[in-house]
Amino acid sequence: METEVRVSGVGMTPFEGDSQRPLADLAAAAAEKTLADAGVDPADVDALHFGNALAEALDESAGLANALAAALGLDGASADRVENTSATGASAFHRGVDRVESGTADIALVVGAEKMSAGDTRSVTEAISRLVHPREYAQGVTLPSFGGLAAGAYLDRHDAPREALAAVAAKNHRNAVHNPVAQFRKPIDVEDALDSPVVAAPLRLYDCCPMSDGAAAVVLTRATDEDDAGHPAGPRVAGTASATGTHAVAERPDPLSIDSVRTAGERVFDRAGIAPDDVDVACIHDAFTVLELIELEELGFYDPGNAWVATLDGDTALDGDLPVNPGGGLKARGHPLGATGLSQIVELVWQLRGDLPESRRVDGAETAFAINVAGFGNNSVCTVLRA
Amino acid sequence: MTGSNSGVPENGAAADRDLPADRAFACADCGRRWYYDRRRCPDCDRSAADAASVRLETGAVVATTTVETTPPDVRAPNHLALVRFDEVRLIAQAAAADLSPGDRVRFDGSHRLRDGPDRTDPRLVAAEES
């Protein structure tokens, strides 16, 4: 059953590789844009949920939610921090939806922020490497390692060419060209991706998302009508659902099976009362190009082995039957862990409101889907929005 | 034969969860084996606290990758294989990049897998055909 919760305001900072702004400033900037977009006075916010994954690991301070509440003037609001590795942003969003849906908050502000450049490459790599199971860590396994194993298995099983992965990267870079908040606005073609350095064979550099700085935010309400100042009630949250999977990736019976993705997808489609065919635009967690293909198949958008064909045929392009990652995805918009899931929601709200330029708009979109994935499928968090 | 793929415990209770790379846990009741530590046996629900450890013999490669961009304390390239030893599935370092899906493998040798930890473990190598 659809919730009564509306996304009444959205906003985000540009995603960058090396922002000059501190984490707290990034978060506050996204929050202020969002409150202005919603036409909400900070004093009226009664719940703040702040998503951040790596602050302590990168020597930032704790107590982020309380500091942000004070900085924004959310006097007396309840506040907490949400952490769910790469899916932190979507999990924070779900907490806010739950608060408003349950009636324990009338107006919730959800902010996700990350400043991955706060640490040197070694410390960031170490922090992300620690997301894997300790016995995997002992083998030097990293998230790109999982991506390489899955990509090799995907190409082998489905007799797909290497270009199938490169086409995902080229498509998402193309979508980011006209997105002013994207980290990479440079188009690449399939040959560029095929010629880039190997990271974890067969994955190459352009198959992998970058490390990013940035913040994104939403305001959630139960408004039903446009307010006096003309702020729309906003798209409805038709459904939210999440599911965990195995911590150790090797324990899955099939390297191309991500149970958490499939289960969370089934749950959210059931709760929203829709089927994959009803979705007009999707944000898919493409931390690696092969993940976009596997997730599209696990979620039921395509049969196993067909997502790569659909990608090469242009079905997932901006003007295709199912536009996927119209803002560039993690691949090109960027992946500041705590903000990514919220940036997917921001993008989809922009699409549903139709307030994007024609160069990057999915015309007539009424139903939107997002999946934000923790680790390599340790936890998947899905959302369906309706215009 | 002990310590084989039959799941016969080789060395008693595995109170130390930090097993060598070539060893899996085995349920003290039903013999079910698993590689990544858990609180209870996935089949019979017996507590894993008194699980034994068993040596893994030969397995089949499911997928491989060679990682060129490794963490600072892991040598590059890092050859990795996803391998099935019957019901046990794991990802481990391989000695070379010459493994392919379907190959039979076993653990062999003594190598430092990461810089720093004062321990060595075996890596995967191709198993000789019998």
Q: First vs last Cα of chain A: how many Å apart?
A: 16
> Would residue A12 count as lying in a domain?
yes
| Same domain membership, residue A96 and residue A132 | no
What is chain A's pLDDT, residue by residue, as a tens digit (387 residues)? Answer: 677 899 999 999 999 999 999 999 999 999 999 999 999 999 999 999 999 999 988 867 789 999 999 999 998 999 999 999 999 999 999 999 999 999 999 999 999 999 999 988 878 888 888 889 999 999 999 999 999 999 999 999 999 999 999 999 999 999 999 999 999 999 999 999 999 999 999 999 999 999 999 999 999 999 887 788 777 889 999 999 999 999 999 999 999 999 999 999 999 999 999 999 999 999 999 999 999 999 999 999 999 999 999 999 999 999 999 999 999 999 999 999 999 999 999 999 999 999 999 999 999 999 999 999 999 999 999 999 999
Q: What is the total count of domains within chain A?
A: 2
Complex-level ipTM: 0.93
Please give the Cα distance from B43 to B53 (Å, whole number): 17
Domain match, A365 and A299 both:
yes
Mark whether A140 and A195 lie in a shared domain: yes
Burial bucket for residue B10 (CB in 10 Å: 0-12, 13-18, 19+):
middle
| H helix or E strand, kind and range, residue B65 | strand B58-67
Amino acid identity of residue A340, one-letter, is: T
B109 touches chain A (CB under 8 A): no
Contact yes or no for A193/A170 (Cβ under 8 A):
yes
Q: Is residue A314 part of a domain?
A: yes
Cβ contact, residue pair B36, A251, below 8 Å: yes
**Is A8 near chain B, with CB under 8 Å?**
no
Please report residues of A whose CB lies closer than 8 A to that of B36. 133, 135-136, 246-248, 250-251
Q: Average pLDDT of B61-66? A: 98
Taking CB atoms and an 8 Å limit, are A138 and B74 in contact across chains? no
Are the Cβ atoms of B67 and A148 closer than 8 angstroms?
yes
Same domain? A179 vs A49:
no
Q: Are residues A251 and A324 in the same domain?
A: yes
What kind and span of H or E run contains A289?
Answer: helix A289-298
Say whether both A353 and A375 belong to one domain. Answer: yes
Q: Is residue A80 in a domain?
A: yes
Contacts of A203 in chain B (CB under 8 A): 65
Q: Which residues 40-99 of B have a C-beta within 8 angstroms of A?
A: 62-72, 74-75, 78, 80, 82, 89-93
Query: Are A51 and A180 members of one domain?
Result: no
DSSP H/E element including A55:
none
Domain identity same for A185 and A256: yes
CB half-sphere exposure, A379, CA atoms < 13 A:
16
Q: pLDDT grade, residue B49 (50/70/90)?
A: very high
Nearest to B68 among A141, A198, A255 (CB): A198
Look at residue A257 and tell me if it is in a domain. yes
User: How far B93 CA lies from chain A's nearest CA (Å)?
Assistant: 6
* Gap between the Cα atoms of A378 and A363, Å rounded: 34
Same domain? For A330 and A199 the reply is: yes
Question: Does A103 fall in a domain?
Answer: yes
Instruction: Identify the bridge partners of residue B110 per DSSP, sorted by sequence position.
Output: none
Contact yes or no for B68 and A139 at CB 8 A: no
Structure tokens, A270: 């059931």
Residues of chain A positioned with their CB less than 8 A from the CB of B64: 149, 152
CATH (domain of A354)? 3.40.47.10
Q: Rounded to the nearest 5 degrees, what angle is found at the Cα of A296, between the Cα atoms of A341 and A150?
A: 95
**Is A55 in the same domain as A200?**
no
Q: Are residues A76 and A155 part of one domain?
A: no
B27 touches chain A (CB under 8 A): no
In a domain, A228, yes or no: no
Q: Which of A187, A221, A255 is the last residue of a domain?
A: A221
Residue-range definition of the domain harbouring residue A307: 128-204+236-386
pLDDT of residue B129: 61
Q: B69-125 pLDDT, tens per residue?
A: 998 899 999 999 999 999 999 999 999 999 999 999 999 999 999 987 688 999 999
Verify that A52 and A74 share a domain, yes or no.
yes
List the end-to-end C-alpha distance of chain B, in Å, as a whole number. 17
Q: A315: which 2 tokens?
A: 């079905």
